[in-house]
Protein backbone atom coordinates (compact mmCIF):
# COMPACT_ATOMS: atom_id res chain seq x y z
CA UNK A 1 0.00 0.00 0.00
CA UNK A 2 1.27 3.44 -0.87
CA UNK A 3 1.42 5.54 2.25
CA UNK A 4 3.58 8.21 3.86
CA UNK A 5 6.29 7.06 6.25
CA UNK A 6 6.24 10.15 8.37
CA UNK A 7 4.27 13.38 8.78
CA UNK A 8 7.25 15.21 7.27
CA UNK A 9 6.42 13.60 3.89
CA UNK A 10 3.60 16.12 3.56
CA UNK A 11 6.05 18.73 2.29
CA UNK A 12 7.98 16.40 -0.02
CA UNK A 13 7.57 15.19 -3.61
CA UNK A 14 4.88 15.99 -6.07
CA UNK A 15 2.32 13.24 -6.47
CA UNK A 16 -0.08 11.53 -4.10
CA UNK A 17 1.30 10.38 -0.75
CA UNK A 18 -1.07 7.48 -0.52
CA UNK A 19 -3.37 5.26 -2.51
CA UNK A 20 -5.72 2.62 -1.16
CA UNK A 21 -6.56 -0.33 -3.35
CA UNK A 22 -9.26 -2.88 -2.87
CA UNK A 23 -6.88 -5.63 -1.81
CA UNK A 24 -5.74 -3.39 1.09
CA UNK A 25 -9.27 -3.53 2.46
CA UNK A 26 -11.07 -5.99 4.69
CA UNK A 27 -13.81 -7.89 2.84
CA UNK A 28 -17.40 -6.94 3.61
CA UNK A 29 -19.89 -9.44 5.04
CA UNK A 30 -21.88 -11.64 2.60
CA UNK A 31 -23.15 -11.29 -0.02
CA UNK A 32 -20.47 -8.68 -0.76
CA UNK A 33 -17.58 -10.65 0.69
CA UNK A 34 -15.50 -11.08 -2.44
CA UNK A 35 -13.03 -8.24 -2.83
CA UNK A 36 -12.51 -9.12 -6.48
CA UNK A 37 -16.23 -8.58 -7.18
CA UNK A 38 -16.22 -5.09 -5.76
CA UNK A 39 -16.21 -2.09 -8.05
CA UNK A 40 -12.65 -0.75 -8.33
CA UNK A 41 -11.73 2.66 -6.97
CA UNK A 42 -11.33 4.76 -10.10
CA UNK A 43 -7.90 6.42 -10.11
CA UNK A 44 -7.63 10.16 -10.38
CA UNK A 45 -7.08 11.30 -13.95
CA UNK A 46 -3.64 12.48 -14.98
CA UNK A 47 -5.16 15.78 -16.01
CA UNK A 48 -6.49 16.36 -12.47
CA UNK A 49 -3.15 15.32 -10.97
CA UNK A 50 -1.37 17.82 -13.20
CA UNK A 51 -3.67 20.70 -12.39
CA UNK A 52 -4.42 20.27 -8.72
CA UNK A 53 -2.58 19.62 -5.50
CA UNK A 54 -2.98 16.01 -4.42
CA UNK A 55 -2.47 14.35 -1.08
CA UNK A 56 -3.91 10.96 -1.98
CA UNK A 57 -5.61 9.55 -5.02
CA UNK A 58 -8.65 11.78 -4.96
CA UNK A 59 -9.57 15.45 -4.70
CA UNK A 60 -12.14 17.11 -2.47
CA UNK A 61 -11.13 20.75 -2.49
CA UNK A 62 -9.29 21.12 -5.78
CA UNK A 63 -6.52 23.60 -5.01
CA UNK A 64 -4.81 24.56 -8.29
CA UNK A 65 -1.05 24.09 -8.23
CA UNK A 66 0.59 27.50 -7.85
CA UNK A 67 2.22 28.74 -11.04
CA UNK A 68 4.47 31.42 -9.66
CA UNK A 69 6.62 32.01 -6.61
CA UNK A 70 4.11 34.65 -5.49
CA UNK A 71 1.28 32.15 -5.61
CA UNK A 72 3.33 29.69 -3.58
CA UNK A 73 4.07 32.34 -0.97
CA UNK A 74 0.45 33.41 -0.89
CA UNK A 75 -0.55 29.91 0.14
CA UNK A 76 2.03 29.69 2.91
CA UNK A 77 1.51 33.20 4.26
CA UNK A 78 -2.26 32.98 4.04
CA UNK A 79 -2.22 29.81 6.06
CA UNK A 80 0.11 31.24 8.70
CA UNK A 81 -1.99 34.40 8.99
CA UNK A 82 -5.13 32.34 9.41
CA UNK A 83 -3.54 30.04 11.93
CA UNK A 84 -2.39 33.04 13.96
CA UNK A 85 -5.95 34.36 13.97
CA UNK A 86 -7.20 31.04 15.29
CA UNK A 87 -5.42 31.89 18.52
CA UNK A 88 -6.87 35.37 18.86
CA UNK A 89 -9.87 35.93 21.12
CA UNK A 90 -11.38 38.45 18.74
CA UNK A 91 -11.18 36.21 15.69
CA UNK A 92 -11.77 32.81 17.23
CA UNK A 93 -13.46 33.12 20.62
CA UNK A 94 -15.92 30.54 19.30
CA UNK A 95 -13.42 27.67 19.52
CA UNK A 96 -10.36 29.10 21.25
CA UNK A 97 -10.41 26.97 24.38
CA UNK A 98 -11.20 23.66 22.66
CA UNK A 99 -8.52 24.45 20.09
CA UNK A 100 -5.83 25.22 22.64
CA UNK A 101 -6.71 22.12 24.60
CA UNK A 102 -6.18 19.99 21.53
CA UNK A 103 -2.98 21.81 20.56
CA UNK A 104 -1.31 21.53 23.93
CA UNK A 105 -1.96 18.12 25.33
CA UNK A 106 -1.75 15.34 22.78
CA UNK A 107 0.45 12.58 24.17
CA UNK A 108 0.80 10.99 20.72
CA UNK A 109 -0.33 7.72 22.24
CA UNK A 110 -2.38 6.90 19.10
CA UNK A 111 -5.22 5.51 21.21
CA UNK A 112 -7.73 7.37 19.06
CA UNK A 113 -6.66 5.79 15.77
CA UNK A 114 -8.63 2.59 15.89
CA UNK A 115 -11.84 4.47 16.64
CA UNK A 116 -11.68 6.00 13.18
CA UNK A 117 -13.61 4.15 10.49
CA UNK A 118 -11.56 5.81 7.74
CA UNK A 119 -8.22 4.70 9.17
CA UNK A 120 -9.58 1.22 9.85
CA UNK A 121 -11.20 0.71 6.46
CA UNK A 122 -8.13 2.06 4.67
CA UNK A 123 -6.20 -0.95 5.95
CA UNK A 124 -4.42 1.32 8.46
CA UNK A 125 -2.99 3.76 5.95
CA UNK A 126 -0.74 6.25 7.81
CA UNK A 127 -2.25 9.23 6.02
CA UNK A 128 -5.65 8.58 7.56
CA UNK A 129 -4.60 8.34 11.17
CA UNK A 130 -6.75 10.90 13.02
CA UNK A 131 -3.50 12.25 14.44
CA UNK A 132 -1.69 12.70 11.13
CA UNK A 133 -3.13 16.09 10.19
CA UNK A 134 -3.28 17.20 13.83
CA UNK A 135 0.43 16.55 14.27
CA UNK A 136 1.24 18.56 11.15
CA UNK A 137 -0.78 21.56 12.22
CA UNK A 138 0.74 21.39 15.71
CA UNK A 139 4.27 21.29 14.33
CA UNK A 140 3.59 24.23 12.00
CA UNK A 141 2.15 26.24 14.87
CA UNK A 142 5.00 25.57 17.26
CA UNK A 143 7.80 25.99 14.75
CA UNK A 144 6.60 28.84 12.58
CA UNK A 145 4.29 30.84 14.81
CA UNK A 146 5.51 30.27 18.35
CA UNK A 147 9.13 29.70 17.26
CA UNK A 148 9.41 26.85 19.73
CA UNK A 149 12.14 24.25 19.57
CA UNK A 150 11.58 21.46 17.07
CA UNK A 151 13.31 19.16 19.54
CA UNK A 152 10.30 19.58 21.80
CA UNK A 153 7.45 19.61 19.30
CA UNK A 154 8.86 17.86 16.25
CA UNK A 155 10.03 19.25 12.95
CA UNK A 156 8.17 20.00 9.75
CA UNK A 157 8.97 21.90 6.57
CA UNK A 158 6.43 24.51 5.63
CA UNK A 159 6.00 25.07 1.93
CA UNK A 160 3.03 25.40 -0.40
CA UNK A 161 2.72 21.63 -0.64
CA UNK A 162 2.45 21.30 3.12
CA UNK A 163 -0.34 23.88 3.20
CA UNK A 164 -2.30 22.71 0.19
CA UNK A 165 -2.06 19.03 1.10
CA UNK A 166 -3.02 19.75 4.69
CA UNK A 167 -6.15 21.57 3.54
CA UNK A 168 -7.05 18.63 1.27
CA UNK A 169 -6.39 16.30 4.19
CA UNK A 170 -8.77 18.26 6.40
CA UNK A 171 -11.43 16.96 3.99
CA UNK A 172 -10.57 13.34 4.65
CA UNK A 173 -12.31 13.43 8.03
CA UNK A 174 -16.05 13.16 8.67
CA UNK A 175 -15.80 15.34 11.81
CA UNK A 176 -17.71 12.56 13.55
CA UNK A 177 -15.62 12.91 16.76
CA UNK A 178 -15.57 9.21 17.43
CA UNK A 179 -11.81 9.49 17.88
CA UNK A 180 -12.27 12.30 20.40
CA UNK A 181 -14.51 10.04 22.45
CA UNK A 182 -11.66 7.60 23.00
CA UNK A 183 -8.89 10.10 23.76
CA UNK A 184 -7.84 9.65 27.36
CA UNK A 185 -6.81 13.29 27.58
CA UNK A 186 -9.69 15.00 25.84
CA UNK A 187 -7.90 15.96 22.62
CA UNK A 188 -10.17 16.36 19.61
CA UNK A 189 -8.71 15.62 16.18
CA UNK A 190 -11.99 16.46 14.49
CA UNK A 191 -11.87 19.92 15.94
CA UNK A 192 -8.37 20.41 14.53
CA UNK A 193 -9.54 19.22 11.11
CA UNK A 194 -12.34 21.77 11.32
CA UNK A 195 -9.93 24.52 12.37
CA UNK A 196 -7.77 23.77 9.32
CA UNK A 197 -10.91 24.01 7.18
CA UNK A 198 -11.71 27.27 8.95
CA UNK A 199 -8.31 28.82 8.20
CA UNK A 200 -8.67 27.77 4.57
CA UNK A 201 -12.17 29.22 4.29
CA UNK A 202 -12.18 32.28 6.52
CA UNK A 203 -8.70 33.48 5.65
CA UNK A 204 -7.78 32.02 2.29
CA UNK A 205 -11.17 31.57 0.65
CA UNK A 206 -10.39 27.93 -0.14
CA UNK A 207 -13.40 25.61 0.25
CA UNK A 208 -14.96 22.75 -1.73
CA UNK A 209 -17.45 24.28 -4.12
CA UNK A 210 -20.26 21.97 -3.03
CA UNK A 211 -20.40 23.22 0.53
CA UNK A 212 -19.55 26.89 0.00
CA UNK A 213 -20.51 28.33 -3.40
CA UNK A 214 -23.26 25.77 -4.04
CA UNK A 215 -24.03 25.43 -0.33
CA UNK A 216 -24.00 28.15 2.28
CA UNK A 217 -23.43 31.00 -0.19
CA UNK A 218 -26.36 29.87 -2.32
CA UNK A 219 -28.52 29.53 0.76
CA UNK A 220 -27.68 33.09 1.78
CA UNK A 221 -28.27 34.40 -1.72
CA UNK A 222 -31.49 32.70 -2.79
CA UNK A 223 -32.76 31.13 0.43
CA UNK A 224 -31.77 27.50 -0.03
CA UNK A 225 -28.78 25.49 -1.17
CA UNK A 226 -31.20 23.62 -3.41
CA UNK A 227 -31.69 26.85 -5.34
CA UNK A 228 -35.40 26.99 -4.41
CA UNK A 229 -36.84 30.40 -3.65
CA UNK A 230 -39.97 30.87 -1.54
CA UNK A 231 -42.35 30.54 -4.47
CA UNK A 232 -40.79 27.33 -5.77
CA UNK A 233 -40.66 25.74 -2.33
CA UNK A 234 -44.34 26.45 -1.73
CA UNK A 235 -45.23 24.97 -5.12
CA UNK A 236 -43.19 21.87 -4.37
CA UNK A 237 -44.72 21.38 -0.97
CA UNK A 238 -48.21 21.78 -2.42
CA UNK A 239 -47.39 19.00 -4.85
CA UNK A 240 -46.00 16.89 -1.99
CA UNK A 241 -49.25 17.40 -0.04
CA UNK A 242 -51.29 16.18 -2.98
CA UNK A 243 -49.05 13.23 -3.68
CA UNK A 244 -48.91 12.17 -0.04
CA UNK A 245 -52.69 12.45 0.29
CA UNK A 246 -53.06 10.19 -2.72
CA UNK A 247 -50.75 7.61 -1.18
CA UNK A 248 -52.23 7.66 2.32
CA UNK A 249 -55.82 8.57 1.60
CA UNK A 250 -55.50 11.33 4.21
CA UNK A 251 -55.89 14.84 2.80
CA UNK A 252 -53.22 17.18 4.16
CA UNK A 253 -52.38 20.84 3.85
CA UNK A 254 -49.00 22.03 4.99
CA UNK A 255 -49.46 25.32 6.82
CA UNK A 256 -47.20 28.21 5.83
CA UNK A 257 -46.26 31.28 7.85
CA UNK A 258 -48.77 30.81 10.65
CA UNK A 259 -48.11 33.55 13.17
CA UNK A 260 -48.07 32.44 16.79
CA UNK A 261 -47.94 28.73 15.94
CA UNK A 262 -46.50 26.46 18.58
CA UNK A 263 -43.97 24.86 16.24
CA UNK A 264 -41.88 26.14 13.35
CA UNK A 265 -40.72 22.99 11.57
CA UNK A 266 -37.36 23.32 9.83
CA UNK A 267 -36.75 20.73 7.14
CA UNK A 268 -33.52 20.17 5.29
CA UNK A 269 -34.74 21.39 1.89
CA UNK A 270 -32.94 18.44 0.32
CA UNK A 271 -35.84 16.35 1.64
CA UNK A 272 -38.32 18.40 -0.37
CA UNK A 273 -36.32 17.81 -3.52
CA UNK A 274 -34.97 14.26 -3.08
CA UNK A 275 -37.23 12.53 -0.55
CA UNK A 276 -40.63 14.27 -0.74
CA UNK A 277 -42.24 11.42 1.20
CA UNK A 278 -40.42 12.70 4.30
CA UNK A 279 -41.99 16.17 4.55
CA UNK A 280 -45.23 14.55 3.41
CA UNK A 281 -45.07 12.08 6.28
CA UNK A 282 -44.28 14.85 8.75
CA UNK A 283 -47.31 16.83 7.61
CA UNK A 284 -49.52 13.75 7.84
CA UNK A 285 -48.39 12.98 11.40
CA UNK A 286 -48.41 16.54 12.72
CA UNK A 287 -51.86 17.14 11.29
CA UNK A 288 -53.23 13.84 12.64
CA UNK A 289 -51.83 14.64 16.08
CA UNK A 290 -53.49 18.04 16.00
CA UNK A 291 -50.26 19.98 16.50
CA UNK A 292 -50.09 23.73 16.00
CA UNK A 293 -47.30 24.04 13.47
CA UNK A 294 -46.07 25.86 10.43
CA UNK A 295 -43.36 26.07 7.83
CA UNK A 296 -41.85 29.46 7.07
CA UNK A 297 -41.39 30.89 3.60
CA UNK A 298 -39.15 33.57 5.05
CA UNK A 299 -35.72 33.94 3.52
CA UNK A 300 -33.55 30.84 4.21
CA UNK A 301 -36.05 29.58 6.77
CA UNK A 302 -37.49 26.81 4.62
CA UNK A 303 -34.07 25.18 4.51
CA UNK A 304 -32.72 24.05 7.88
CA UNK A 305 -29.25 23.25 6.60
CA UNK A 306 -26.27 25.12 7.99
CA UNK A 307 -23.11 23.96 6.25
CA UNK A 308 -21.03 26.45 8.23
CA UNK A 309 -20.83 23.85 11.03
CA UNK A 310 -18.39 21.96 8.82
CA UNK A 311 -15.98 24.73 7.92
CA UNK A 312 -16.78 28.34 8.67
CA UNK A 313 -17.99 30.12 11.82
CA UNK A 314 -19.13 33.23 9.97
CA UNK A 315 -21.24 31.36 7.45
CA UNK A 316 -22.57 29.34 10.35
CA UNK A 317 -23.62 32.43 12.29
CA UNK A 318 -25.21 34.04 9.23
CA UNK A 319 -27.49 31.08 8.60
CA UNK A 320 -28.32 30.48 12.27
CA UNK A 321 -29.40 34.12 12.56
CA UNK A 322 -31.66 33.78 9.51
CA UNK A 323 -33.36 30.76 11.06
CA UNK A 324 -33.87 32.47 14.39
CA UNK A 325 -35.09 35.70 12.80
CA UNK A 326 -37.76 33.81 10.85
CA UNK A 327 -38.98 32.11 14.02
CA UNK A 328 -38.98 35.40 15.92
CA UNK A 329 -40.96 37.13 13.16
CA UNK A 330 -43.65 34.46 13.28
CA UNK A 331 -43.66 34.49 17.07
CA UNK A 332 -43.59 30.69 17.28
CA UNK A 333 -43.01 29.07 20.66
CA UNK A 334 -40.36 26.63 19.50
CA UNK A 335 -38.35 25.57 16.50
CA UNK A 336 -38.48 21.85 15.75
CA UNK A 337 -35.77 20.37 13.58
CA UNK A 338 -36.73 17.77 11.00
CA UNK A 339 -34.64 14.75 10.11
CA UNK A 340 -31.32 16.50 9.59
CA UNK A 341 -28.44 15.81 11.95
CA UNK A 342 -26.16 18.75 11.31
CA UNK A 343 -29.12 21.14 11.46
CA UNK A 344 -29.88 19.71 14.90
CA UNK A 345 -26.41 20.35 16.21
CA UNK A 346 -26.14 23.73 14.48
CA UNK A 347 -29.21 25.37 15.90
CA UNK A 348 -29.54 23.55 19.22
CA UNK A 349 -25.98 23.18 20.45
CA UNK A 350 -23.63 25.51 18.60
CA UNK A 351 -25.98 28.45 18.12
CA UNK A 352 -26.80 28.21 21.82
CA UNK A 353 -23.89 30.53 22.52
CA UNK A 354 -24.28 32.67 19.44
CA UNK A 355 -27.93 33.74 19.52
CA UNK A 356 -29.11 36.01 22.33
CA UNK A 357 -32.08 38.15 23.34
CA UNK A 358 -35.03 38.08 20.94
CA UNK A 359 -33.28 35.52 18.74
CA UNK A 360 -33.15 32.97 21.53
CA UNK A 361 -36.09 30.79 20.50
CA UNK A 362 -36.19 27.34 22.15
CA UNK A 363 -35.15 24.57 19.77
CA UNK A 364 -35.93 20.88 19.95
CA UNK A 365 -35.56 17.73 17.92
CA UNK A 366 -38.35 16.24 15.86
CA UNK A 367 -37.53 12.91 17.52
CA UNK A 368 -38.90 14.10 20.85
CA UNK A 369 -41.98 15.57 19.19
CA UNK A 370 -42.59 12.30 17.34
CA UNK A 371 -42.12 10.40 20.58
CA UNK A 372 -44.73 12.67 22.20
CA UNK A 373 -47.13 11.90 19.33
CA UNK A 374 -46.66 8.18 19.98
CA UNK A 375 -47.17 8.63 23.72
CA UNK A 376 -50.26 10.79 23.25
CA UNK A 377 -52.07 7.93 21.50
CA UNK A 378 -53.63 10.43 19.09
CA UNK A 379 -52.28 8.52 16.14
CA UNK A 380 -52.88 4.77 15.98
CA UNK A 381 -50.18 2.50 14.59
CA UNK A 382 -50.33 -1.06 13.39
CA UNK A 383 -46.86 -2.56 13.81
CA UNK A 384 -47.66 -5.52 11.59
CA UNK A 385 -47.52 -3.19 8.58
CA UNK A 386 -43.80 -2.86 9.19
CA UNK A 387 -43.20 -6.58 9.23
CA UNK A 388 -39.71 -6.52 7.73
CA UNK A 389 -36.22 -6.29 9.23
CA UNK A 390 -35.35 -2.77 10.34
CA UNK A 391 -32.06 -1.39 11.56
CA UNK A 392 -31.40 2.12 12.82
CA UNK A 393 -28.53 4.41 11.94
CA UNK A 394 -27.57 6.91 14.65
CA UNK A 395 -26.59 10.24 13.08
CA UNK A 396 -23.44 11.39 14.91
CA UNK A 397 -24.66 14.96 15.23
CA UNK A 398 -27.85 13.92 17.00
CA UNK A 399 -26.50 11.08 19.12
CA UNK A 400 -22.81 11.38 20.04
CA UNK A 401 -22.92 15.17 19.87
CA UNK A 402 -26.35 15.83 21.40
CA UNK A 403 -27.19 12.78 23.45
CA UNK A 404 -30.54 12.03 21.76
CA UNK A 405 -30.52 8.25 21.88
CA UNK A 406 -33.85 6.88 23.11
CA UNK A 407 -36.77 8.87 21.57
CA UNK A 408 -36.17 7.51 18.07
CA UNK A 409 -35.89 3.99 19.51
CA UNK A 410 -39.14 4.42 21.44
CA UNK A 411 -40.83 5.49 18.21
CA UNK A 412 -39.48 2.44 16.41
CA UNK A 413 -40.68 0.26 19.25
CA UNK A 414 -44.17 1.64 18.70
CA UNK A 415 -44.25 1.08 14.95
CA UNK A 416 -42.05 -1.94 14.25
CA UNK A 417 -42.58 -5.47 15.63
CA UNK A 418 -39.94 -6.06 18.30
CA UNK A 419 -38.47 -9.16 16.70
CA UNK A 420 -37.94 -7.26 13.45
CA UNK A 421 -35.69 -4.55 14.90
CA UNK A 422 -31.95 -5.09 15.11
CA UNK A 423 -29.42 -2.67 16.48
CA UNK A 424 -26.18 -2.07 14.67
CA UNK A 425 -23.01 -2.87 16.56
CA UNK A 426 -21.87 -0.55 17.99
CA UNK A 427 -24.74 1.93 18.21
CA UNK A 428 -25.86 4.91 20.25
CA UNK A 429 -23.04 7.25 21.23
CA UNK A 430 -20.45 4.80 19.92
CA UNK A 431 -22.00 4.57 16.49
CA UNK A 432 -20.01 4.96 13.32
CA UNK A 433 -20.53 7.87 10.96
CA UNK A 434 -22.53 7.04 7.82
CA UNK A 435 -19.52 8.22 5.85
CA UNK A 436 -21.27 11.31 4.53
CA UNK A 437 -20.53 13.52 7.54
CA UNK A 438 -18.94 16.98 7.28
CA UNK A 439 -20.20 17.58 3.75
CA UNK A 440 -19.03 14.38 2.07
CA UNK A 441 -22.58 13.25 1.31
CA UNK A 442 -22.92 16.12 -1.15
CA UNK A 443 -19.39 15.89 -2.54
CA UNK A 444 -18.83 13.66 -5.55
CA UNK A 445 -16.47 15.49 -7.89
CA UNK A 446 -13.96 13.52 -9.96
CA UNK A 447 -13.47 10.18 -8.18
CA UNK A 448 -14.28 11.47 -4.69
CA UNK A 449 -17.44 9.39 -4.48
CA UNK A 450 -15.41 6.21 -5.07
CA UNK A 451 -13.01 7.20 -2.31
CA UNK A 452 -15.99 8.00 -0.08
CA UNK A 453 -17.67 4.65 -0.66
CA UNK A 454 -14.51 2.66 -0.06
CA UNK A 455 -13.09 4.64 2.83
CA UNK A 456 -15.74 6.59 4.73
CA UNK A 457 -19.01 4.78 3.97
CA UNK A 458 -17.65 1.24 4.06
CA UNK A 459 -17.85 0.84 7.83
CA UNK A 460 -21.50 1.85 7.87
CA UNK A 461 -22.26 -0.49 4.99
CA UNK A 462 -20.44 -3.22 6.89
CA UNK A 463 -22.57 -2.51 9.96
CA UNK A 464 -25.76 -2.58 7.92
CA UNK A 465 -24.82 -5.94 6.38
CA UNK A 466 -23.86 -7.33 9.79
CA UNK A 467 -27.19 -6.20 11.23
CA UNK A 468 -29.04 -8.10 8.51
CA UNK A 469 -26.97 -11.29 8.57
CA UNK A 470 -29.23 -14.30 9.02
CA UNK A 471 -31.92 -12.75 6.80
CA UNK A 472 -32.61 -13.83 3.25
CA UNK A 473 -30.34 -11.53 1.27
CA UNK A 474 -32.46 -10.91 -1.79
CA UNK A 475 -34.90 -8.41 -3.19
CA UNK A 476 -37.88 -10.57 -2.31
CA UNK A 477 -37.09 -9.96 1.37
CA UNK A 478 -36.90 -6.19 1.76
CA UNK A 479 -34.92 -4.75 4.63
CA UNK A 480 -35.11 -1.17 5.89
CA UNK A 481 -32.24 1.01 7.06
CA UNK A 482 -33.83 3.79 9.06
CA UNK A 483 -31.56 6.81 8.65
CA UNK A 484 -33.27 9.78 10.25
CA UNK A 485 -30.96 12.42 8.80
CA UNK A 486 -30.96 13.88 5.34
CA UNK A 487 -27.19 13.74 4.81
CA UNK A 488 -26.88 10.23 6.23
CA UNK A 489 -29.75 9.18 4.01
CA UNK A 490 -27.96 10.59 0.97
CA UNK A 491 -24.80 8.71 1.84
CA UNK A 492 -26.66 5.47 2.51
CA UNK A 493 -28.59 5.87 -0.74
CA UNK A 494 -25.31 6.31 -2.61
CA UNK A 495 -23.64 3.28 -1.08
CA UNK A 496 -26.69 1.08 -1.64
CA UNK A 497 -26.59 2.16 -5.27
CA UNK A 498 -22.82 1.70 -5.54
CA UNK A 499 -23.03 -1.91 -4.37
CA UNK A 500 -26.41 -2.51 -5.99
CA UNK A 501 -27.55 -3.61 -2.56
CA UNK A 502 -31.27 -3.41 -3.33
CA UNK A 503 -31.03 -5.78 -6.27
CA UNK A 504 -28.51 -8.06 -4.62
CA UNK A 505 -29.62 -8.04 -0.99
CA UNK A 506 -32.98 -6.28 -0.75
CA UNK A 507 -31.58 -3.42 1.30
CA UNK A 508 -33.42 -0.13 1.13
CA UNK A 509 -33.48 2.96 3.30
CA UNK A 510 -35.61 5.83 4.49
CA UNK A 511 -36.38 8.07 7.41
CA UNK A 512 -38.23 7.61 10.69
CA UNK A 513 -41.49 9.35 9.80
CA UNK A 514 -41.89 7.16 6.71
CA UNK A 515 -41.88 4.09 8.96
CA UNK A 516 -44.48 5.76 11.17
CA UNK A 517 -46.85 6.64 8.36
CA UNK A 518 -46.36 3.17 6.87
CA UNK A 519 -47.80 1.83 10.13
CA UNK A 520 -50.56 4.44 10.54
CA UNK A 521 -53.91 2.71 10.90
CA UNK A 522 -55.77 5.58 9.25
CA UNK A 523 -53.48 5.59 6.23
CA UNK A 524 -53.68 3.28 3.25
CA UNK A 525 -51.09 0.52 3.60
CA UNK A 526 -47.89 0.61 1.57
CA UNK A 527 -46.60 4.12 2.15
CA UNK A 528 -43.01 2.92 1.81
CA UNK A 529 -42.16 2.58 -1.82
CA UNK A 530 -39.46 -0.10 -1.98
CA UNK A 531 -38.70 0.12 -5.64
CA UNK A 532 -38.07 3.88 -5.65
CA UNK A 533 -34.58 5.03 -4.78
Partner 1 sequence: MQWLPYVVAYAGIAVFLIAVIARFFMWARMPIHVRWELYPVAHDAKRARYGGSYFEESKWWTKPREVSLLGELKVMVPEILFLVALKEHNPKLWIRSLPFHFGLYLVVACTVLMLGTGVLGALSTSLLEGGFGTLLRGLIVATGAAGMCLAILGALGLLQRRLTEPGMSTFASGADLFNLVFFVVAFGVALVNFLLFDRDFSQTTSFTAGLVTGDFAAFSGAGGEAFLAVLTVVLLSVLVAYIPLTHMSHFVGKYFAYHAIRWNDKPLLRGDKGEAEVNKMLGQKVSWSAPHIKGEGKKTWVDVATEEFKKK
Segment 408 to 437, residues that bind partner 1, using CB under 8 A: 428-429
Query: Residue 46 binds which entry of partner 1, ligand SF4, none, with Cβ cut-offs from 5 to 8 Å by kind?
Result: none
The correct pick among 83, 176, 233, 350 for binding ligand SF4 (CB under 6 A) is: 176
What SS3 state is found at 227? Answer: coil
The correct pick among 189, 224, 248, 294 for binding ligand SF4 (CB under 6 A) is: 189
The correct pick among 111, 159, 444, 447 for binding ligand SF4 (CB under 6 A) is: 111
118 binds ligand SF4 (CB under 6 A): yes
Q: Which residues of 216-244 are buried (b: 16+ CB within 10 A; e: fewer)?
A: bbbbbebbbbbebebebbbebbeebbeeb
The pair phi, psi for residue 401, each rounded to 5°, is -100, -5
Query: Residue 377 binds which entry of ligand SF4, partner 1, none, with Cβ cut-offs from 5 to 8 Å by kind?
Result: none
Query: Residue 174 binds which entry of partner 1, ligand SF4, none, with Cβ cut-offs from 5 to 8 Å by kind?
Result: ligand SF4
CA gap 94, 97 in Å, rounded: 8
Contact between residue 135 and residue 78 where contact means Cβ atoms under 8 Å apart? no
220 binds ligand SF4 (CB under 6 A): no
Rank residues 25 and 431 by Cβ distance to partner 1 and give the closer one: 431
Q: Binding mask 398-437 vs ligand SF4 (x if CB under 6 A, - otherwise)?
A: -----------------------------------x----
Query: Residue 266 binds which entry of ligand SF4, partner 1, none, with Cβ cut-offs from 5 to 8 Å by kind?
Result: none
Rank residues 131 and 248 by Cβ distance to ligand SF4 and give the closer one: 131
The pair phi, psi for residue 518, each rounded to 5°, is -60, -25
7 binds ligand SF4 (CB under 6 A): no
Rank residues 104 and 474 by Cβ distance to ligand SF4 and give the closer one: 104
The correct pick among 122, 125, 201, 463 for binding partner 1 (CB under 8 A) is: 201
Query: Residue 176 binds which entry of partner 1, ligand SF4, none, with Cβ cut-offs from 5 to 8 Å by kind?
Result: ligand SF4
399 binds partner 1 (CB under 8 A): yes
Q: How many whole angstroms from its chain centre is CA 16?
A: 26
In the complex, what is the shortest distance from the CB of residue 425 to ligand SF4, in angstroms, rounded to a whole number?
17
* Cβ contacts of 479 within 8 Å, gap of 6 or more: 388, 389, 390, 391, 468, 471, 505, 506, 507, 508
1 binds partner 1 (CB under 8 A): no
What SS3 state is found at 264? Answer: strand
Per CB under 6 A, the segment of 79-87, 101-109, 261-269, 282-290 that binds ligand SF4 is: 101-109
The correct pick among 233, 369, 443, 507 for binding partner 1 (CB under 8 A) is: 369
Query: Residue 354 binds which entry of ligand SF4, partner 1, none, with Cβ cut-offs from 5 to 8 Å by kind?
Result: partner 1
302 binds partner 1 (CB under 8 A): no
Distances (CA, A) of 46 to 4, 9, 51, 166, 171: 21, 21, 9, 21, 21
Residue 460's nearest CA partner among 412, 425, 500, 485 is 425
334 binds partner 1 (CB under 8 A): yes
The correct pick among 154, 276, 417, 445 for binding partner 1 (CB under 8 A) is: 154
The correct pick among 20, 167, 175, 404 for binding ligand SF4 (CB under 6 A) is: 175
Rank residues 352 and 474 by Cβ distance to partner 1 and give the closer one: 352
CA gap 387, 221 in Å, rounded: 45
Contact between residue 352 and residue 281 where contact means Cβ atoms under 8 Å apart? no
Residue 382's nearest CA partner among 526, 511, 484 is 526
* Cβ contacts of 183 within 8 Å, gap of 6 or more: 111, 112, 189
CA gap 405, 426 in Å, rounded: 13
DSSP class of 303:
-
Binding site for ligand SF4 (CB under 6 A): 106-112, 115-116, 118, 130-131, 173-179, 183, 185, 187, 189-190, 433
Amino acid sequence: MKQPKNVKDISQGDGPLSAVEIHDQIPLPPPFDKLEDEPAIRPLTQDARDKFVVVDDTIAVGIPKPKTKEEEEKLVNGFLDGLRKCFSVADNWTFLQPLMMSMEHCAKCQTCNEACHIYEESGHNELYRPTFRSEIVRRIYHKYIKKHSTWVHGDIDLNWKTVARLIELAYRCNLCRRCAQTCPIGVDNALLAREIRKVASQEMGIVPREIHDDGSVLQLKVGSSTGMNDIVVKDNVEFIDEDTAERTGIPIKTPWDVEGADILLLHNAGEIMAWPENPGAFATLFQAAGLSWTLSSDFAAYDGINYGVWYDDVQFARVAIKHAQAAARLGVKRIVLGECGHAHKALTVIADKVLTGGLKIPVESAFTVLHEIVKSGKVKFDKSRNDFPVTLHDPCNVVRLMGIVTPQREVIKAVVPEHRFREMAPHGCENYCCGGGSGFAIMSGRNFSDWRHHLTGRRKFRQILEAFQGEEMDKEHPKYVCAPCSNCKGQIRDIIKYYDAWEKAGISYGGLVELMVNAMVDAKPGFIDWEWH
